[in-house]
Amino acid sequence: MASTLAIVAGAIVALLYVFLRLLLYCTQDAREPPAIETGWPFIGPLVGMLREKSRLHFRLRKQYRLPIYTLRMPFQRIYVVNSPSLIPELEKQWRAVSFAAIAADAGHVVGMSKEAQEIMHRDLMSEHSFSLEPIRSKGRPVKVGLYGMLRKLMEISGTEAIWGPQNPYRDSAISDAWRTFENGFLFFSMFPFATALFPKFYQARELVAAAMMGFVRNRGFETASGLVRKRYEHHSKLFGLGTEDIARGEIGNTFAVLGNIAPCAWWVIFHLVSDARVLSEVREELLAAAHEDESGCHLDIASLRERCPVLLSTFQETLRYRAVNPGPRVILDDVALSNGILLKKGSMLMIPARVHHTDTTAWGEDAGKFDHLRFTRKPTATGQKKYNRVAFRAFGGGDALCPGRHLASNEIMALAALIVLQFVVVPVGGKWPEPTFEKSPPTGFPIPDKDIQAELHPRDPNKKWNFTFSGAEEAIGFISEDAMAGARRPVIAS
């Protein structure tokens, strides 16, 4: 009996295998990027993705050494771009290789109405800030969870800057609800009937939605940032969306504003305070950039980019070393690349940051190493080569390039300056652990599995620090688009 069952099971598996092989053979066009991991067609890539997460692309690049390849998933094909040389051509075809389609797909996750979702999918081709004073003014060491503290600070400063005086996230019940919903984001995008299956996440989302509706009804956008004002105008006038849909759209934007900035700030501060050499070099620069008079010590945050190349380089290197955003796009129309490769309509495409940030042709043989001085090096005729800016993907690129990159960079570098100048940060237990992030949700930067407990020792509680921001006329040339727009390039070698 047992052997009959085994024979039947074996026959089913064999039939399934033959069926999947045939399906692959009949549906994979020879002009498409080569399909890989086809030992068990469709199932192999899915298992790999679930098991290895963002590490999968890293392994596949090493194993197959292809400029671009196809992962045939059940009901979906994903093209993954390995070679930075393909990126400019793809980004020129932004109508067909679309990020807008990804944003529009998120409409159902935040509960937009069917009509609003349909509109979003149409024509896709076409005075407060953070303060560390409460900790410093205690005049004694304060124990904190480093990630928790940084997240809170970035949440306050980021949402104030974006939503202004009527910022709904000022209410801690709303910011707590946001955090709960953020953890359930993936369930909402993957499962049908998610509102019934995950009531905790649903209730949290609705609480944030109600607060956002109040914000829109009270015309909070009029005193918010240009980004929110323009979005309101665009969504109400061009799309004709109502209050509720506009408000739910703002929940979607909270992902963009908060999703990256808090984990990114955490990694920057971690690299700064956990390495004595980095810390002392950055501190020295900051002290030189500050000046003291009878009223206290003064530092203009705008001067950091000019006067603190090591801090700026550490910031950029952290983004290069730690970013894991997948760079997703949807192929809205067949795309023929100049090398003869065909990308089929309806497929997904990915330009994974981690793959491009470890590309030795773009960054040199030591691409896998954290080097806080990397971006201070200038190319030389004999030794140092020019870095390929196209391969810097932490802020994405092309038409979907992150519009918040300068705000985020200024905020994170300001926070770094405040911490380094005012505190000695000591890990509880005496040694900085290497953070693990196995359980991290799929954000742009990994979130540590366990917060690191640290003590903040005020350096000189009696010293008065005045931090100002005199503004900046030029952008920092992080990425190729900024460089082409004529941004200053203080440290990236070019």
Residues that bind ligand HEM (CB under 6 A): 99, 103, 158, 162, 227, 253, 256-257, 260-261, 264, 325, 327, 394-397, 400-404, 407-408, 444
Which residue, 205 or 354, is less far from ligand HEM as judged by CB?
354
Which residue, 142 or 401, is less far from ligand HEM as judged by CB?
401
β-strands 76-81, 68-73 pairing:
antiparallel
CA nearest to 436, candidates 448, 419, 451, 428: 448
User: Is the separation of the CB atoms in 331 and 345 below 8 Å?
Assistant: yes
CA distance 227 to 237: 15
Which residue, 253 or 347, is less far from ligand HEM as judged by CB?
253
β-strands 291-293, 68-73 pairing:
unpaired
Rg (CA), the chain: 24
Which residue, 38 or 175, is less far from ligand HEM as judged by CB?
175
CA distance 45 to 199: 31
Which residue, 400 or 421, is less far from ligand HEM as judged by CB?
400
* Dihedral sign (CA 481, 483, 487, 493): positive
Q: Which two tokens stand for residue 125?
A: 């081709």
Which residue, 71 or 97, is less far from ligand HEM as judged by CB?
97
**Min CB(395)–ligand HEM separation in Å:** 5
Residue 343: phi, psi to the nearest 5? -110, 125
Which residue, 45 or 259, is less far from ligand HEM as judged by CB?
259
Which residue, 20 or 268, is less far from ligand HEM as judged by CB?
268
**Min CB(353)–ligand HEM separation in Å:** 7
User: Is the separation of the CB atoms in 250 and 208 below 8 Å?
Assistant: no
Residues 6+ apart with CB under 8 A from 265: 150, 153, 154, 411, 412, 415
User: Is the separation of the CB atoms in 72 and 45 below 8 Å?
Assistant: yes
Which residue, 282 or 394, is less far from ligand HEM as judged by CB?
394
* Dihedral sign (CA 173, 174, 175, 179): positive
CA distance 160 to 178: 15
Which residue, 139 or 403, is less far from ligand HEM as judged by CB?
403
Which residue, 198 or 445, is less far from ligand HEM as judged by CB?
445
CA distance 283 to 78: 45
CA distance 77 to 308: 45
**Min CB(231)–ligand HEM separation in Å:** 8
On the 0-12 / 13-18 / 19+ scale of CB atoms within 10 A, 295 is exposed
CA distance 232 to 164: 14
User: Is the separation of the CB atoms in 351 and 81 below 8 Å?
Assistant: yes
**Min CB(404)–ligand HEM separation in Å:** 2
Which residue, 119 or 402, is less far from ligand HEM as judged by CB?
402
**Min CB(396)–ligand HEM separation in Å:** 2
CA distance 31 to 41: 18
Residue 457: phi, psi to the nearest 5? -100, 115
Which residue, 101 or 290, is less far from ligand HEM as judged by CB?
101
Q: Which two tokens stand for residue 299?
A: 């530092």
Q: Which two tokens stand for residue 476?
A: 């920092």
User: Is the separation of the CB atoms in 303 and 413 below 8 Å?
Assistant: no
Residues 6+ apart with CB under 8 A from 426: 141, 454, 455, 457
CA distance 459 to 139: 9
**Min CB(362)–ligand HEM separation in Å:** 17
**Min CB(476)–ligand HEM separation in Å:** 12
**Min CB(360)–ligand HEM separation in Å:** 22
